[in-house]
Amino acid sequence: MRAAVYHGPRNVAIENVPDPKIEDASDLIVATKVASMCGSDLYLFNGEVADMVSPGHTTLGHEICGEVVEVGSAVNRFAVGDRVTFPYSVSCGRCESCRAGQTAHCITTGKAIYGFGTAFGDLGGSQAEYVRVPFADDHLEKVPDSIVDELVPFLSCNLPAAAIAVTAAAIQPTETVAVVGCGPTGLLALELARQQTHADVFAFDPVAYRRERADALGATALDANPGAIEESVQTVLDATNGLGVHKVIEFAGRGSGFDLAVTVARPGATLSGGGVYLERDHPVSLFDMYFKNLQLRLNGFANAKTAQWQAIDLMERNAIDPTSVVTHRIALEDFPAAAVQFAEREPGFLKMLIRG
């Protein structure tokens, strides 16, 4: 089969690799109908986590709309021909972590993640023609007929992550909100947050095109580039009697984004972090968080399985259309070049969908 194989920083090639096989009776094999690329994939693509990947071996991707083509003898919930999706992480549904709702921390699977290198289970990714799905009955999800193929990859990660972060923020109808980071998932979170409050919503991002999209969603879009941060923060303070916002939703996934979130939060605010943080040595001010009495709810390693039903419901009720953030539709062969465009935040590039 063809798959996107990692060879080094920003060096991915579409190559022929062995087809995945049933390795356990609980496995099944899906054919990829539509895949996509998540912002968290950039950590691997950019070479920021070299200890997690194996060049020439690791295949990428964890968002998918697939069709079942083969099932193991112990699989009961699925049959050949079913249209399915999986959450980005593999969970058994039965261990202590899964029963507590911490499906991303499944003890049985060792926190396995599709297409996220050797450190997280060494599973094949969705940017390929076929994917092996272990523990299929326990975490794979059948997709309702009412949801079209292009919507389905958003059920793997983006929309559940956005829903988890917004739900954790517990936004009240008169509370001000700031969204830090307006990539695809941040914009989905912004749209959900905008539905929760009648007060001001602010959106921070360094990319002009993303700020334009945030503005179109009814937010006050603010420049998060280093030279503009001070003025942008002052805009928030001027609009909130010098206090800052009640709720902050962070999807930048960088230490600087977290620092900004703390800065614009008022005393007693909730900071709901959905960003993926891999900076192990970033300094944070415990004093600032303590002195503001902040409530921190970090969900970047999101338990996506627990929110897939909520995401499906949002789609079926037309409460949100995630394809509003899709700007590029490409063939698998075009993925390496498109991934560079995404990584460089090329103007007009937000989210790609990949078809074989």
pLDDT in tens, 21-55: 999 999 999 999 999 999 999 999 999 998 889 99
Closest CA to 266 of 198, 174, 350, 176: 176
pLDDT band at 60 (very low <50, low <70, confident <90, very high): very high
pLDDT of 356 higher than 80: no
Query: What is the average per-residue pLDDT within 97-113?
Result: 97
pLDDT band at 239 (very low <50, low <70, confident <90, very high): very high
Closest CA to 60 of 39, 76, 91: 39
Query: What is the average per-residue pLDDT within 227-245?
Result: 98
Model's pTM, two decimal places?
0.96
Strand bridging mode 177-180 / 2-8: unpaired
Q: pLDDT per residue over 136-179, tens digit each?
A: 999 999 999 999 999 999 999 999 999 999 999 999 999 999 99
Burial degree of 319 (CB within 10 A; 0-12, 13-18, 19+): exposed
Q: pLDDT per residue over 77-102, tens digit each?
A: 999 999 999 999 999 999 999 999 99
Which residues are CB-neighbours of 104 under 8 A, at least 6 positions away? Answer: 89, 91, 111, 301, 302, 303, 304, 305
For the chain, the average pLDDT equals 96
Q: What is the pLDDT of residue 299?
A: 92
Burial degree of 155 (CB within 10 A; 0-12, 13-18, 19+): buried
pLDDT cut 70: percent of the chain above it: 100
For residues 36 and 144, the answer to whether their CB atoms sit within 8 Å is no
CATH code of the domain occupying 2-157+303-355: 3.90.180.10
pLDDT of 279 higher than 90: no
pLDDT cut 90: percent of the chain above it: 96
Measured from the Cβ of residue 213, the count of other Cβ atoms closer than 10 Å reads: 24
Query: What is the average per-residue pLDDT within 299-307?
Result: 95
Q: What is the pLDDT of residue 313?
A: 97
Where in the chain are all domains bearing CATH 3.90.180.10? 2-157+303-355
Q: What is the pLDDT of residue 278?
A: 86
Main-chain phi, psi angles of 46, to 5 degrees:
-80, -5
pLDDT of 280 higher than 90: no
Least confident of 25-29, 231-235, 283-287, 334-338: 283-287
pLDDT band at 348 (very low <50, low <70, confident <90, very high): very high
Superfamily of domain 159-298: NAD(P)-binding Rossmann-like Domain (3.40.50.720)
Least confident of 110-114, 166-170, 279-283: 279-283
Where in the chain are all domains bearing CATH 3.40.50.720? 159-298
pLDDT of 222 higher than 90: yes
